[in-house]
């Protein structure tokens, strides 16, 4: 436990947390909705500072991130708690119990663990990292000293304060929209008034930092698959983040409190892809559909496949050492060279 940095004091011993857009106002002894930020003696404390709930080695493509340091291994870490109440959460045992748990560990120890496991970066994921951003920052600063990069897998429901702190250590962020950010969906299935703070945070990240941004959108059948909303989201990304911004439409599978829903039909994901392309986005992907042709990266210049994928594996790499397309010479907006060799033995043909 440690005193938080992102909060302001209010009269009568209350404090207002500024780590996320909920801006919880908590009285003495109370804990914010996230379950890990508590008012103790008129000061806000991060209860999960120095506690990791989980650590796991992942390929960066699992986050999903397709245009930053491809082929790298990352050490994925989380604390407990969350600032959302998602009924579909795959990591509900970590995020939704609102119980402070985890292994005691120092900020400088996390990069050492990552390096020992052959990782090139650290991902703050599985639960919302902005709620433990002070701990993430301290880890991230130490990670930079050791040559590691830092990634947030975030819902983007942040504030100007969180964006400012991100700029001190973060290299990449993937912001996960759900249900195309449609207002009624986020109210009913996430428990937030609207997605407006996500758009605000993304605008600040784009305009005030050098953090690489990728967008994901979980497409949930029947309740979160409206193509008009997908069109609005895609248009916003095009106009505010740029046409080269990668966007991933992810397949839903039933989990937690939404077991009665089916998996997302492939045709619905493909329809989302078509909408995003019609709005001018150049790098659109489908996720959670191993073997689909739309996992690949297609050159914006000639439409040839420049990076082939099967799930999280890169199976073909048709870029030169400057990440230019072998076929037409167009510069592909991917940061970093391929970090690992391509295994042709794992190549499988597209199924869809």
Mean pLDDT of 197-218: 98
pLDDT of res. 98: 86
pLDDT at 342: 61
Overall pTM > 0.85: yes
Please say if the pLDDT value at position 343 is more than 90: no
What share of the chain in percent tops pLDDT 70? Answer: 97
What is the C-alpha to C-alpha distance for residues 177 and 10, in angstroms, rounded to an integer? 32
Give the start-to-end residue ranges of the domains of the chain: 2-46, 51-284, 290-352
Q: What's the whole-number mean pLDDT along residues 129-142?
A: 98
pLDDT at 97: 87
Classified as helix, coil or strand, 183 is helix
300 phi-psi bin (left φ>0, alpha ψ -120 to 50, beta other): alpha
Q: What is the pLDDT of residue 351?
A: 34
Buried b / exposed e across 239-266, counting CB within 10 Å, b at 16+? eebeeebbbbbbbbeeeeebeebeebee
The answer, yes or no, to whether residue 345 has pLDDT greater than 60, is no
Q: What is the mean pLDDT of residues 151-163?
A: 98
Q: What is the mean pLDDT of residues 11-27?
A: 98
Q: Is 143 helix (H, G, I), strand (E, B) or coil?
A: helix
Per-residue model confidence (pLDDT) at position 137: 98
Task: Report yes or no: 40 and 9 within 8 Å, Cβ to Cβ.
Answer: no
CA distance 126 to 133: 14
pLDDT, one tens digit per residue, over 226-254 is: 999 999 999 999 999 999 999 999 999 99
The pLDDT value recorded for residue 347 is: 35
Q: What per-residue confidence (pLDDT) applies to 220? A: 98
CATH class of 51-284: alpha beta
Query: Over the chain, what is the mean pLDDT?
Result: 95
Instruction: Give the DSSP H/E element, type plus range, for residue 11.
Output: none
**208 or 349: which leads in pLDDT:** 208
In tens, the pLDDT along 271-299 reads 999 999 999 999 999 999 999 999 999 99
pLDDT of 208 above 90: yes
Q: Which residues contact 347 (CB under 8 A, 6 or more apart)?
A: 308, 310, 315, 316
Separation between Cα atoms, residue 154 and residue 316, nearest integer Å:
29
pLDDT for residue 352 is more than 60: no
Name which residue leads in pLDDT, 113 or 349: 113
pLDDT at res. 341: 58
Confidence of residue 340 (pLDDT cuts 50, 70, 90): confident
């Amino acid at each position: 436990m440690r005193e938080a940095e992102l909060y302001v004091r209010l009269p009568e011993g209350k404090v207002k947390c500024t780590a996320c857009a909920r801006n919880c106002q908590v009285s003495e002894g109370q804990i914010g909705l996230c379950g890990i930020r508590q008012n103790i003696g008129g000061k806000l404390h991060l209860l999960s500072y120095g506690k990791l709930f989980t650590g796991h080695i992942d390929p960066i493509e699992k986050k999903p991130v397709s245009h930053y340091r491809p082929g790298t291994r990352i050490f994925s870490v989380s604390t407990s708690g969350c600032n959302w109440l998602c009924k579909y959460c795959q990591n509900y045992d970590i995020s939704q119990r609102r119980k402070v748990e985890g292994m005691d560990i120092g900020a400088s120890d996390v990069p050492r663990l990552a390096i020992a496991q052959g990782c090139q970066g650290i991902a703050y994921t599985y639960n919302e990292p902005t709620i433990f951003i002070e701990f993430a920052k301290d880890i991230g600063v130490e990670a930079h000293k050791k040559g590691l990069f830092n990634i947030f897998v975030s819902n983007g429901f942040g504030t100007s304060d969180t964006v400012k702190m991100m700029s001190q250590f973060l290299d990449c962020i993937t912001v996960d929209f759900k249900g195309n950010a449609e207002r009624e969906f986020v109210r009913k299935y996430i428990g937030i008034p609207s997605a407006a703070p996500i758009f605000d945070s993304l605008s600040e990240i784009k305009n005030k930092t050098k953090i690489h941004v990728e967008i994901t959108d979980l497409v949930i059948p029947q309740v979160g698959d409206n193509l008009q909303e997908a069109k609005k989201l895609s248009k916003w990304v095009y106009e505010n983040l740029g046409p080269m911004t990668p966007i991933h439409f992810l397949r839903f599978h039933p989990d937690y409190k939404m077991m009665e829903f089916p998996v997302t039909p492939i045709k619905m994901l493909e329809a989302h892809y078509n909408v995003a392309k019609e709005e001018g986005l150049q790098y659109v992907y489908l996720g959670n559909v191993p073997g689909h042709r739309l996992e690949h990266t297609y050159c914006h210049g000639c439409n040839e496949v420049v990076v082939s994928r099967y799930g999280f594996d890169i199976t073909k790499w048709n870029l030169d050492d400057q990440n230019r397309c072998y076929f037409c010479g167009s510069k592909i907006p991917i940061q970093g060279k391929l970090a690992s060799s391509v295994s042709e033995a794992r190549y499988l043909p597209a199924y869809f």
